[in-house]
Structure 1
Protein backbone atom coordinates (compact mmCIF):
# COMPACT_ATOMS: atom_id res chain seq x y z
CA UNK A 1 0.00 0.00 0.00
CA UNK A 2 1.34 3.46 -0.90
CA UNK A 3 2.01 5.57 2.20
CA UNK A 4 -0.04 8.76 2.48
CA UNK A 5 2.13 11.86 2.50
CA UNK A 6 1.95 15.53 3.45
CA UNK A 7 3.10 18.00 0.80
CA UNK A 8 3.72 21.66 1.61
CA UNK A 9 3.22 23.35 -1.74
CA UNK A 10 3.61 27.03 -0.91
CA UNK A 11 5.91 29.22 -2.98
CA UNK A 12 9.32 30.23 -1.59
CA UNK A 13 9.13 32.88 1.17
CA UNK A 14 5.62 31.92 2.30
CA UNK A 15 6.54 30.23 5.58
CA UNK A 16 7.38 26.79 4.24
CA UNK A 17 10.45 26.39 6.47
CA UNK A 18 8.42 27.12 9.60
CA UNK A 19 5.72 24.70 8.52
CA UNK A 20 8.23 21.91 7.89
CA UNK A 21 9.78 22.57 11.29
CA UNK A 22 6.37 22.41 12.98
CA UNK A 23 5.52 19.09 11.32
CA UNK A 24 8.76 17.64 12.64
CA UNK A 25 7.97 19.02 16.10
CA UNK A 26 4.69 17.07 16.23
CA UNK A 27 6.33 13.84 15.14
CA UNK A 28 5.72 13.91 11.40
CA UNK A 29 9.14 13.37 9.80
CA UNK A 30 9.36 16.09 7.17
CA UNK A 31 12.10 16.96 4.69
CA UNK A 32 12.62 20.60 3.83
CA UNK A 33 14.07 21.43 0.38
CA UNK A 34 13.96 17.81 -0.90
CA UNK A 35 15.99 18.08 -4.09
CA UNK A 36 16.96 14.42 -3.71
CA UNK A 37 13.76 13.73 -5.68
CA UNK A 38 15.76 14.72 -8.77
CA UNK A 39 18.75 12.49 -7.97
CA UNK A 40 19.08 11.24 -11.57
CA UNK A 41 19.16 14.69 -13.14
CA UNK A 42 22.13 15.57 -15.35
CA UNK A 43 22.76 19.06 -14.02
CA UNK A 44 25.70 19.69 -16.31
CA UNK A 45 23.45 19.67 -19.37
CA UNK A 46 20.82 21.78 -17.64
CA UNK A 47 23.40 24.38 -16.70
CA UNK A 48 24.38 24.71 -20.34
CA UNK A 49 20.74 25.05 -21.36
CA UNK A 50 20.18 27.70 -18.69
CA UNK A 51 23.01 29.90 -19.97
CA UNK A 52 21.79 29.56 -23.55
CA UNK A 53 24.00 26.76 -24.87
CA UNK A 54 21.24 24.40 -25.97
CA UNK A 55 22.05 20.72 -26.05
CA UNK A 56 20.48 17.89 -28.00
CA UNK A 57 21.17 15.36 -25.26
CA UNK A 58 18.41 16.29 -22.85
CA UNK A 59 15.24 18.38 -22.80
CA UNK A 60 15.26 21.32 -20.41
CA UNK A 61 13.67 19.62 -17.43
CA UNK A 62 14.48 18.01 -14.11
CA UNK A 63 14.51 14.22 -14.03
CA UNK A 64 11.85 13.29 -11.48
CA UNK A 65 12.34 9.95 -9.75
CA UNK A 66 9.38 9.03 -7.55
CA UNK A 67 10.60 5.48 -6.99
CA UNK A 68 13.77 6.28 -5.06
CA UNK A 69 14.07 5.14 -1.46
CA UNK A 70 14.48 8.73 -0.27
CA UNK A 71 10.70 9.22 -0.43
CA UNK A 72 10.13 6.39 2.03
CA UNK A 73 12.16 8.10 4.76
CA UNK A 74 9.68 10.91 5.36
CA UNK A 75 5.98 11.57 5.77
CA UNK A 76 6.15 15.22 4.77
CA UNK A 77 7.98 17.27 2.16
CA UNK A 78 8.04 21.03 1.73
CA UNK A 79 9.43 24.03 -0.10
CA UNK A 80 11.23 23.83 -3.44
CA UNK A 81 10.88 21.76 -5.57
CA UNK A 82 7.48 20.50 -4.30
CA UNK A 83 5.37 23.31 -5.88
CA UNK A 84 6.67 22.31 -9.32
CA UNK A 85 5.65 18.65 -9.02
CA UNK A 86 2.65 18.60 -6.67
CA UNK A 87 0.38 17.09 -9.33
CA UNK A 88 2.84 14.28 -10.02
CA UNK A 89 3.06 13.64 -6.29
CA UNK A 90 -0.72 13.61 -5.99
CA UNK A 91 -1.02 10.98 -8.70
CA UNK A 92 1.68 8.80 -7.15
CA UNK A 93 0.63 9.16 -3.52
CA UNK A 94 -3.18 9.01 -3.41
CA UNK A 95 -5.04 10.24 -0.32
CA UNK A 96 -2.19 12.54 0.64
CA UNK A 97 -2.69 15.98 2.18
CA UNK A 98 -1.56 19.29 0.70
CA UNK A 99 -0.86 22.53 2.56
CA UNK A 100 -0.61 25.81 0.67
CA UNK A 101 1.12 28.58 2.59
CA UNK A 102 0.62 32.04 1.16
CA UNK A 103 0.84 35.79 1.78
CA UNK A 104 -0.06 39.00 -0.04
CA UNK A 105 1.55 39.61 -3.42
CA UNK A 106 3.32 42.81 -2.34
CA UNK A 107 4.89 41.29 0.75
CA UNK A 108 5.88 38.18 -1.23
CA UNK A 109 7.60 40.26 -3.91
CA UNK A 110 9.46 42.22 -1.25
CA UNK A 111 10.64 38.98 0.36
CA UNK A 112 11.59 37.46 -3.00
CA UNK A 113 13.74 40.50 -3.80
CA UNK A 114 15.61 39.84 -0.56
CA UNK A 115 15.87 36.13 -1.43
CA UNK A 116 17.46 36.73 -4.81
CA UNK A 117 19.92 39.27 -3.41
CA UNK A 118 20.78 38.05 0.07
CA UNK A 119 19.05 34.70 0.68
CA UNK A 120 20.92 32.87 -2.05
CA UNK A 121 24.20 33.96 -0.46
CA UNK A 122 23.09 33.23 3.11
CA UNK A 123 22.20 29.64 2.20
CA UNK A 124 24.88 29.24 -0.46
CA UNK A 125 22.49 28.00 -3.13
CA UNK A 126 23.85 25.32 -5.39
CA UNK A 127 23.42 25.55 -9.15
CA UNK A 128 20.48 23.14 -8.96
CA UNK A 129 18.44 25.73 -7.04
CA UNK A 130 19.05 28.32 -9.76
CA UNK A 131 18.03 25.78 -12.40
CA UNK A 132 14.85 25.01 -10.47
CA UNK A 133 13.91 28.70 -10.25
CA UNK A 134 14.66 29.16 -13.94
CA UNK A 135 12.29 26.29 -14.77
CA UNK A 136 9.55 26.87 -12.19
CA UNK A 137 9.48 30.62 -11.62
CA UNK A 138 10.66 31.57 -15.09
CA UNK A 139 13.61 33.53 -13.73
CA UNK A 140 16.67 33.01 -11.56
CA UNK A 141 16.90 36.71 -10.65
CA UNK A 142 14.38 39.17 -9.25
CA UNK A 143 12.14 40.19 -12.15
CA UNK A 144 8.97 41.72 -10.75
CA UNK A 145 6.68 41.28 -13.76
CA UNK A 146 7.54 37.61 -14.22
CA UNK A 147 7.11 36.86 -10.52
CA UNK A 148 3.78 38.71 -10.37
CA UNK A 149 2.40 36.49 -13.14
CA UNK A 150 3.82 33.36 -11.54
CA UNK A 151 2.24 34.16 -8.19
CA UNK A 152 -1.20 34.67 -9.74
CA UNK A 153 -1.01 31.71 -12.11
CA UNK A 154 0.26 29.32 -9.45
CA UNK A 155 -2.44 30.12 -6.91
CA UNK A 156 -5.17 29.96 -9.56
CA UNK A 157 -3.86 26.59 -10.72
CA UNK A 158 -3.73 25.13 -7.21
CA UNK A 159 -7.26 26.29 -6.33
CA UNK A 160 -8.63 24.96 -9.60
CA UNK A 161 -6.84 21.62 -9.17
CA UNK A 162 -8.31 21.02 -5.70
CA UNK A 163 -11.69 22.60 -6.43
CA UNK A 164 -13.53 19.27 -6.23
CA UNK A 165 -11.41 18.02 -3.30
CA UNK A 166 -11.44 20.80 -0.67
CA UNK A 167 -10.73 18.35 2.16
CA UNK A 168 -7.32 17.55 0.67
CA UNK A 169 -6.06 21.16 0.72
CA UNK A 170 -5.40 23.46 3.68
CA UNK A 171 -4.57 27.12 2.99
CA UNK A 172 -2.50 28.96 5.59
CA UNK A 173 -2.20 32.73 5.15
CA UNK A 174 0.84 34.11 6.97
CA UNK A 175 -0.70 37.56 7.31
CA UNK A 176 -4.20 36.55 8.39
CA UNK A 177 -2.78 34.12 10.91
CA UNK A 178 -3.71 30.58 11.89
CA UNK A 179 -3.46 28.23 14.85
CA UNK A 180 -1.69 24.93 15.35
CA UNK A 181 -5.09 23.30 15.99
CA UNK A 182 -6.11 24.12 12.43
CA UNK A 183 -3.13 22.19 11.09
CA UNK A 184 -3.53 19.27 13.48
CA UNK A 185 -7.24 18.92 12.72
CA UNK A 186 -6.54 18.92 8.99
CA UNK A 187 -3.91 16.21 9.37
CA UNK A 188 -6.05 14.31 11.88
CA UNK A 189 -3.39 14.23 14.55
CA UNK A 190 -3.70 15.17 18.24
CA UNK A 191 -3.64 18.87 19.07
CA UNK A 192 -0.44 20.24 20.56
CA UNK A 193 0.51 22.92 23.07
CA UNK A 194 3.76 23.57 21.22
CA UNK A 195 4.28 27.07 19.85
CA UNK A 196 4.40 27.46 16.10
CA UNK A 197 7.97 28.31 15.01
CA UNK A 198 9.00 31.29 12.92
CA UNK A 199 12.09 30.55 10.85
CA UNK A 200 14.26 32.13 8.16
CA UNK A 201 14.08 35.73 9.25
CA UNK A 202 15.92 38.09 6.93
CA UNK A 203 19.53 39.06 7.42
CA UNK A 204 21.64 41.23 5.15
CA UNK A 205 24.79 39.86 3.53
CA UNK A 206 27.85 42.00 2.90
CA UNK A 207 29.06 43.17 -0.49
CA UNK A 208 32.13 40.93 -0.20
CA UNK A 209 29.97 37.90 0.60
CA UNK A 210 27.80 38.53 -2.46
CA UNK A 211 30.80 38.99 -4.75
CA UNK A 212 32.41 35.80 -3.43
CA UNK A 213 29.20 33.87 -4.01
CA UNK A 214 28.84 35.10 -7.59
CA UNK A 215 32.48 34.19 -8.27
CA UNK A 216 31.86 30.61 -7.05
CA UNK A 217 28.76 30.28 -9.22
CA UNK A 218 30.60 31.44 -12.34
CA UNK A 219 33.37 28.96 -11.60
CA UNK A 220 30.79 26.17 -11.46
CA UNK A 221 29.32 27.28 -14.80
CA UNK A 222 32.77 27.30 -16.37
CA UNK A 223 33.58 23.85 -15.02
CA UNK A 224 30.28 22.54 -16.42
CA UNK A 225 31.11 23.95 -19.83
CA UNK A 226 34.62 22.45 -19.78
CA UNK A 227 33.22 19.09 -18.69
CA UNK A 228 30.67 19.05 -21.49
CA UNK A 229 33.19 20.13 -24.14
CA UNK A 230 35.60 17.46 -22.94
CA UNK A 231 32.99 14.75 -23.46
CA UNK A 232 32.09 16.05 -26.88
CA UNK A 233 35.71 15.92 -27.99
CA UNK A 234 36.14 12.27 -27.01
Structure 2
Protein backbone atom coordinates (compact mmCIF):
# COMPACT_ATOMS: atom_id res chain seq x y z
CA UNK A 1 0.00 0.00 0.00
CA UNK A 2 1.29 3.46 -0.90
CA UNK A 3 1.21 6.48 1.36
CA UNK A 4 -1.49 9.14 1.07
CA UNK A 5 0.59 11.37 -1.21
CA UNK A 6 -1.09 13.03 -4.22
CA UNK A 7 -2.00 10.82 -7.13
CA UNK A 8 -2.24 11.38 -10.88
CA UNK A 9 -5.72 10.91 -12.30
CA UNK A 10 -6.07 10.60 -16.08
CA UNK A 11 -9.74 11.45 -16.51
CA UNK A 12 -10.21 11.48 -20.26
CA UNK A 13 -12.61 9.18 -22.09
CA UNK A 14 -11.43 6.07 -23.88
CA UNK A 15 -9.91 6.76 -27.32
CA UNK A 16 -8.58 10.19 -26.34
CA UNK A 17 -5.00 9.08 -25.75
CA UNK A 18 -5.38 7.54 -22.30
CA UNK A 19 -3.21 4.55 -23.19
CA UNK A 20 -0.47 6.76 -24.61
CA UNK A 21 -0.55 8.91 -21.48
CA UNK A 22 -0.38 5.82 -19.28
CA UNK A 23 2.69 4.63 -21.20
CA UNK A 24 4.37 7.99 -20.62
CA UNK A 25 3.67 7.86 -16.89
CA UNK A 26 4.89 4.27 -16.67
CA UNK A 27 8.08 5.45 -18.36
CA UNK A 28 8.50 7.82 -15.43
CA UNK A 29 8.25 4.88 -13.04
CA UNK A 30 4.67 5.21 -11.84
CA UNK A 31 2.38 2.27 -11.12
CA UNK A 32 -0.70 2.71 -13.33
CA UNK A 33 -4.08 1.04 -12.84
CA UNK A 34 -7.21 0.66 -14.94
CA UNK A 35 -10.45 -0.20 -13.15
CA UNK A 36 -12.91 -0.66 -16.00
CA UNK A 37 -13.16 -4.44 -15.66
CA UNK A 38 -13.58 -4.24 -11.90
CA UNK A 39 -16.31 -1.64 -12.15
CA UNK A 40 -18.05 -3.49 -14.97
CA UNK A 41 -18.06 -6.70 -12.92
CA UNK A 42 -19.41 -4.90 -9.85
CA UNK A 43 -22.16 -3.15 -11.82
CA UNK A 44 -23.26 -6.42 -13.37
CA UNK A 45 -25.00 -6.99 -10.04
CA UNK A 46 -27.97 -4.62 -9.67
CA UNK A 47 -27.31 -1.71 -7.31
CA UNK A 48 -29.23 1.39 -6.25
CA UNK A 49 -26.09 3.54 -6.29
CA UNK A 50 -23.70 2.71 -9.15
CA UNK A 51 -21.84 5.98 -8.60
CA UNK A 52 -20.90 4.96 -5.06
CA UNK A 53 -19.75 1.56 -6.31
CA UNK A 54 -17.48 3.10 -8.94
CA UNK A 55 -16.16 5.71 -6.50
CA UNK A 56 -15.26 3.05 -3.94
CA UNK A 57 -13.40 0.90 -6.46
CA UNK A 58 -11.45 3.88 -7.79
CA UNK A 59 -10.41 5.08 -4.34
CA UNK A 60 -9.36 1.58 -3.34
CA UNK A 61 -7.32 1.09 -6.53
CA UNK A 62 -5.24 4.19 -5.85
CA UNK A 63 -4.21 2.89 -2.45
CA UNK A 64 -1.72 0.67 -4.28
CA UNK A 65 -1.08 2.69 -7.47
CA UNK A 66 0.15 6.16 -8.32
CA UNK A 67 -2.01 6.65 -11.41
CA UNK A 68 -5.54 5.80 -12.53
CA UNK A 69 -6.54 5.97 -16.19
CA UNK A 70 -9.26 5.06 -18.69
CA UNK A 71 -12.98 4.50 -18.09
CA UNK A 72 -14.69 5.30 -15.80
CA UNK A 73 -12.13 7.80 -14.47
CA UNK A 74 -14.04 10.69 -16.05
CA UNK A 75 -17.02 9.80 -13.86
CA UNK A 76 -15.25 9.38 -10.49
CA UNK A 77 -12.96 12.42 -10.46
CA UNK A 78 -14.79 14.20 -7.65
CA UNK A 79 -14.46 11.23 -5.30
CA UNK A 80 -10.76 10.94 -6.13
CA UNK A 81 -10.26 14.66 -5.53
CA UNK A 82 -11.80 14.32 -2.07
CA UNK A 83 -9.92 11.14 -1.20
CA UNK A 84 -6.49 12.30 -2.42
CA UNK A 85 -6.13 16.07 -1.88
CA UNK A 86 -3.50 17.79 -3.98
CA UNK A 87 -3.64 15.22 -6.76
CA UNK A 88 -3.12 16.10 -10.42
CA UNK A 89 -5.94 15.62 -12.92
CA UNK A 90 -5.27 15.28 -16.64
CA UNK A 91 -8.12 15.51 -19.13
CA UNK A 92 -7.17 14.02 -22.48
CA UNK A 93 -9.63 14.89 -25.20
CA UNK A 94 -10.24 14.91 -28.93
CA UNK A 95 -12.63 17.00 -30.99
CA UNK A 96 -15.94 15.23 -30.55
CA UNK A 97 -16.36 14.16 -34.18
CA UNK A 98 -12.91 12.55 -34.20
CA UNK A 99 -13.67 10.85 -30.90
CA UNK A 100 -16.96 9.46 -32.20
CA UNK A 101 -15.25 8.12 -35.31
CA UNK A 102 -12.56 6.39 -33.25
CA UNK A 103 -15.08 5.00 -30.77
CA UNK A 104 -17.20 3.61 -33.59
CA UNK A 105 -14.14 1.91 -35.06
CA UNK A 106 -13.16 0.13 -31.86
CA UNK A 107 -16.39 -0.35 -29.85
CA UNK A 108 -19.39 -0.24 -32.24
CA UNK A 109 -21.39 -3.03 -30.61
CA UNK A 110 -19.78 -3.48 -27.20
CA UNK A 111 -22.48 -3.61 -24.55
CA UNK A 112 -21.74 -4.05 -20.86
CA UNK A 113 -22.83 -2.78 -17.46
CA UNK A 114 -20.13 -0.12 -17.29
CA UNK A 115 -21.10 1.46 -20.59
CA UNK A 116 -24.79 1.34 -19.73
CA UNK A 117 -24.06 3.23 -16.53
CA UNK A 118 -21.83 5.84 -18.17
CA UNK A 119 -23.94 6.51 -21.24
CA UNK A 120 -27.40 5.42 -20.14
CA UNK A 121 -27.88 3.32 -23.28
CA UNK A 122 -26.62 0.06 -24.71
CA UNK A 123 -24.12 -0.17 -27.57
CA UNK A 124 -22.69 2.75 -29.50
CA UNK A 125 -24.32 1.84 -32.81
CA UNK A 126 -27.65 3.61 -33.05
CA UNK A 127 -26.90 5.81 -30.02
CA UNK A 128 -24.30 8.16 -31.46
CA UNK A 129 -26.20 11.28 -30.39
CA UNK A 130 -26.32 10.09 -26.80
CA UNK A 131 -22.60 9.30 -26.75
CA UNK A 132 -21.88 12.75 -28.16
CA UNK A 133 -24.02 14.39 -25.48
CA UNK A 134 -22.38 12.48 -22.62
CA UNK A 135 -18.86 13.14 -23.93
CA UNK A 136 -19.46 16.86 -24.26
CA UNK A 137 -21.41 17.32 -21.03
CA UNK A 138 -19.03 15.30 -18.88
CA UNK A 139 -15.97 17.10 -20.23
CA UNK A 140 -17.76 20.40 -19.58
CA UNK A 141 -18.49 19.31 -16.00
CA UNK A 142 -14.84 18.42 -15.46
CA UNK A 143 -13.65 21.76 -16.82
CA UNK A 144 -16.13 23.64 -14.66
CA UNK A 145 -15.12 21.74 -11.54
CA UNK A 146 -11.42 22.59 -11.98
CA UNK A 147 -11.93 26.07 -13.46
CA UNK A 148 -10.16 27.86 -10.60
CA UNK A 149 -7.47 25.23 -10.02
CA UNK A 150 -4.96 25.38 -12.89
CA UNK A 151 -2.26 23.98 -10.63
CA UNK A 152 -4.24 20.74 -10.30
CA UNK A 153 -5.76 20.39 -13.76
CA UNK A 154 -4.36 20.03 -17.26
CA UNK A 155 -5.96 19.38 -20.63
CA UNK A 156 -4.10 17.43 -23.31
CA UNK A 157 -5.12 17.10 -26.94
CA UNK A 158 -2.44 14.62 -27.94
CA UNK A 159 -3.70 14.54 -31.50
CA UNK A 160 -3.22 18.30 -31.63
CA UNK A 161 0.37 18.33 -30.45
CA UNK A 162 0.29 18.46 -26.63
CA UNK A 163 2.84 16.04 -25.32
CA UNK A 164 5.79 15.11 -23.20
CA UNK A 165 7.13 18.50 -22.16
CA UNK A 166 3.65 19.80 -21.34
CA UNK A 167 3.15 16.81 -19.06
CA UNK A 168 6.50 17.21 -17.31
CA UNK A 169 5.95 20.92 -16.72
CA UNK A 170 2.49 20.27 -15.28
CA UNK A 171 3.55 17.53 -12.89
CA UNK A 172 6.58 19.49 -11.70
CA UNK A 173 9.71 18.28 -9.95
CA UNK A 174 7.94 17.18 -6.76
CA UNK A 175 6.03 14.50 -8.67
CA UNK A 176 8.91 13.56 -10.96
CA UNK A 177 11.65 12.18 -8.69
CA UNK A 178 12.53 9.48 -11.21
CA UNK A 179 12.83 11.75 -14.23
CA UNK A 180 16.26 13.39 -14.58
CA UNK A 181 15.06 16.21 -16.85
CA UNK A 182 12.23 17.45 -14.64
CA UNK A 183 13.87 20.88 -14.59
CA UNK A 184 12.96 21.99 -18.10
CA UNK A 185 14.85 25.22 -17.58
CA UNK A 186 18.06 23.41 -16.70
CA UNK A 187 21.47 23.66 -18.27
CA UNK A 188 22.18 23.19 -21.97
CA UNK A 189 24.12 20.07 -21.03
CA UNK A 190 21.00 18.62 -19.39
CA UNK A 191 18.94 19.48 -22.45
CA UNK A 192 21.40 17.73 -24.72
CA UNK A 193 21.62 14.72 -22.42
CA UNK A 194 17.92 14.12 -21.88
CA UNK A 195 16.00 16.16 -24.43
CA UNK A 196 16.45 13.80 -27.37
CA UNK A 197 14.98 10.82 -25.56
CA UNK A 198 11.99 12.83 -24.35
CA UNK A 199 11.24 14.21 -27.81
CA UNK A 200 11.58 10.76 -29.33
CA UNK A 201 9.07 9.35 -26.85
CA UNK A 202 6.67 12.20 -27.52
CA UNK A 203 6.80 11.55 -31.25
CA UNK A 204 6.20 7.84 -30.71
CA UNK A 205 3.18 8.47 -28.49
CA UNK A 206 1.68 10.94 -30.92
CA UNK A 207 2.20 8.56 -33.84
CA UNK A 208 0.48 5.78 -31.94
CA UNK A 209 -2.48 8.01 -31.16
CA UNK A 210 -2.81 8.96 -34.82
CA UNK A 211 -2.79 5.34 -36.04
Task: Give TM-score, length-normalised by structure 2.
Answer: 0.74
The residue correspondences of 1:1-234 to structure 2 (distance < 5 A) are 2-31=4-33, 33-35=34-36, 38=39, 41=42, 43=44, 45-46=45-46, 58-59=47-48, 61=50, 63-64=53-54, 65=56, 70-117=61-108, 120=110, 130-142=112-124, 143-188=127-172, 189=176, 190-191=181-182, 193-194=197-198, 195-196=201-202, 197=205, 199=208
Whether contact under 8 Å (2:35, 2:72) holds in the other structure is: yes
What is the alpha-carbon root mean square deviation over aligned residues? 2.7
Equivalent-residue separation in structure 2 for 1:179 and 1:99 (angstroms): 12
Give, in angstroms, the shift of residue 140 of structure 1.
3.1
Equivalent-residue separation in structure 1 for 2:136 and 2:115 (angstroms): 16
Give, in angstroms, the shift of residue 86 of structure 1.
0.7
SS at match of 1:72: coil
Equivalent-residue separation in structure 2 for 1:105 and 1:67 (angstroms): 26
Equivalent-residue separation in structure 2 for 1:40 and 1:131 (angstroms): 8
Give, in angstroms, the shift of residue 2 of structure 1.
2.1
Relative contact order, higher structure (CA 8 A, sep 6+): 1
Give, in angstroms, the shift of residue 164 of structure 1.
1.3
Going from structure 1 to structure 2, the CA distance change for 1:106 and 1:100 (only over 3 Å counts) comes to same
- Alignment deviations for residues 37-62 of structure 1 (CA, whole Å, 9 cap, x no partner): 6499363x33xxxxxxxxxxx31515
Give, in angstroms, the shift of residue 174 of structure 1.
2.6
Task: Give TM-score, length-normalised by structure 1.
Answer: 0.68
Whether contact under 8 Å (2:10, 2:91) holds in the other structure is: yes
Give, in angstroms, the shift of residue 144 of structure 1.
1.2
SS at match of 1:152: helix
Structure 1 unaligned blocks of 5 or more: 47-57, 121-126, 203-234
Structure 1 stretches of 4+ with a deviation exceeding 6 A read none
Going from structure 1 to structure 2, the CA distance change for 1:111 and 1:36 (only over 3 Å counts) comes to closer
- Alignment deviations for residues 58-86 of structure 1 (CA, whole Å, 9 cap, x no partner): 31515242597642221111001211111
SS at match of 1:167: coil
Total equivalences in the alignment: 180
Equivalent-residue separation in structure 2 for 1:158 and 1:9 (angstroms): 9
- Alignment deviations for residues 194-216 of structure 1 (CA, whole Å, 9 cap, x no partner): 303355777xxxxxxxxxxxxxx
Going from structure 1 to structure 2, the CA distance change for 1:14 and 1:40 (only over 3 Å counts) comes to closer
